């Protein structure tokens, strides 16, 4: 008997997901959530940014399988039952894309591309003094699977690497800091701060004025985690005051960014539309399918979220 699994995804994107699930896991009857015949019998759902109708439509859910790594949107859902398990993707091509995104932007500033762009606008031809990679200090906020991957990638280019995390980590070639007591020491020795933290009560607004002022003058901030990590006005103030040389934001508090938001025109800021890393469909389907099969067999799936930690 097929296991019915409703699919909540962004409008217009469900058919390729359904086709791929049918190819690899035909015993899972994955359908658009509006096409499920017996919603009261559904125990497993596959979701991305589900709307308010999820839990009222499917009252007997046992588990949600998220089509991405960040689960704050599910954890913040006002109707989330206490007994529903949440399972997130652990990679699905995201690590490689994050490596590319952060390497691109770290090198943009390390190699003075921001300054050369400004010189071009002024018709100025002048070579700037360079800095060896070993003397350019890159710090990673968040050393989970994605953060650790980015740290290792950037280390391969010779950058001086450090990282900060909630729990103790050990990564070859990366100086690791742990806990609130060591956050200040970490920030004081970072020229390029890269945020890949999960969004939790403990990390919300961590990129605030007090913390960013601990960065050396002329540092840059790159956030590809969640908009809730950053106090946007604090960033604007520090850019305008010259304490920060530049910033890159892939996530903002309100997405899409409203047309009248001043971030669109902020000097020194690069904006991208939450595209740093996408979940490739085929590896995502394989991870979710394996996780559902594990739970059907009474086993613990990879990527099971600990609610009290928020990831």
Say whether pLDDT at 128 is over 70: yes
- CA angle in degrees (0–180, nearest 5) for 135-137-142: 160
Longest pairwise C-alpha distance within the chain:
71
Here the tokens at position 306 are 């600990």
Mean pLDDT, rounded, for 160-176: 96
Which of 267, 287, 295, 271 is CA-nearest to residue 117? 267
State the pLDDT confidence band at 2, using cuts at 50, 70 and 90: confident
Mean pLDDT, rounded, for 170-177: 97
Strand spans (E) along 151-225: 160-165, 174-178, 192-195, 219-223
Mean pLDDT of the chain: 94
Mean pLDDT, rounded, for 8-19: 82
What does the pLDDT look like over 229-256, one tens digit per residue? 999 999 999 999 999 999 999 999 999 9
Q: Is there a catalytic annotation at residue 226?
A: yes
Q: What is the distance between the alpha carbons of residues 156 and 178, in angstroms, rounded to a whole number?
A: 23
| CA 226 to mean position of chain CA atoms | 6
Q: Provide the Cα torsion 40, 46, 47, 53; round to 10°.
A: -10
Mean pLDDT, rounded, for 172-195: 98
Residue 70: predicted pLDDT: 83
Q: Is there a catalytic annotation at residue 115?
A: no
Which of 155, 156, 153, 181 is CA-nearest to residue 164? 181
Residue 12: predicted pLDDT: 62
State the pLDDT confidence band at 41, using cuts at 50, 70 and 90: very high
Say whether pLDDT at 269 is over 80: yes
Residue 10: predicted pLDDT: 64
Say whether pLDDT at 69 is over 90: no
Choose the catalytic residue: 105, 110, 166, 226.
226
What does the pLDDT look like over 75-96, one tens digit per residue? 988 899 999 999 999 878 899 9
Mean pLDDT, rounded, for 192-221: 97
Here the tokens at position 38 are 């017996």
Choose the catalytic residue: 111, 243, 253, 274.
274
Mean pLDDT, rounded, for 162-189: 97
Q: Write down all domains in the chain, each with its CATH number in brackets.
A: 3-92+279-296 (3.40.50.720), 95-271 (3.40.50.720)
What CA–CA distances, in Å, run from 179 to 130, 185, 217? 34, 11, 24
What CA–CA distances, in Å, run from 112 to 128, 226, 264? 8, 27, 22
Higher pLDDT, 9 or 163: 163
């Amino acid at each position: 008997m097929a296991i019915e699994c409703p699919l909540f995804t962004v409008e217009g994107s469900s058919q390729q997901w359904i086709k791929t699930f049918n190819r690899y896991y035909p015993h899972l009857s994955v359908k658009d959530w509006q096409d499920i015949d017996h919603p009261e019998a559904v125990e497993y759902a596959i979701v991305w940014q589900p709307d308010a109708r999820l839990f009222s439509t499917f009252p007997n859910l046992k588990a949600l399988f998220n089509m991405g790594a960040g689960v704050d949107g599910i954890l913040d859902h006002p109707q989330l039952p206490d007994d529903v398990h949440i399972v997130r993707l652990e990679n699905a091509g995201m690590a490689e894309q994050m490596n590319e995104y952060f390497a691109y932007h770290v090198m943009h500033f390390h190699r003075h591309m921001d300054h050369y762009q400004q010189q071009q606008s002024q018709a100025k031809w002048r070579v700037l003094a360079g800095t060896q990679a070993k003397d350019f200090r890159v710090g990673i906020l968040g050393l989970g699977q994605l953060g650790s991957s980015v740290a290792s990638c950037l280390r391969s280019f010779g950058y001086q690497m450090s990282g900060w995390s909630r729990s103790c980590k050990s990564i070859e070639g990366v100086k690791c800091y742990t806990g609130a007591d060591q956050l200040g020491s970490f920030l004081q020795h970072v020229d390029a701060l890269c945020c890949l933290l999960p969004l939790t009560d403990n990390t919300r607004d961590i990129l605030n004025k007090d913390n960013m002022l601990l960065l050396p003058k002329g540092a840059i901030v790159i956030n590809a985690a969640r908009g809730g990590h950053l106090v946007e006005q604090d960033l604007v103030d520090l850019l305008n005051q010259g304490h920060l040389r530049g910033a890159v934001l892939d996530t903002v508090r309100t997405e899409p960014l409203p047309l009248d938001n001043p971030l669109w025109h902020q000097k020194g800021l690069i904006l991208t539309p939450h595209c740093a890393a996408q979940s490739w469909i085929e590896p995502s389907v394989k991870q979710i399918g394996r996780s559902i099969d594990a739970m059907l067999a009474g086993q613990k799936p990879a990527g099971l979220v600990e609610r009290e930690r928020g990831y």
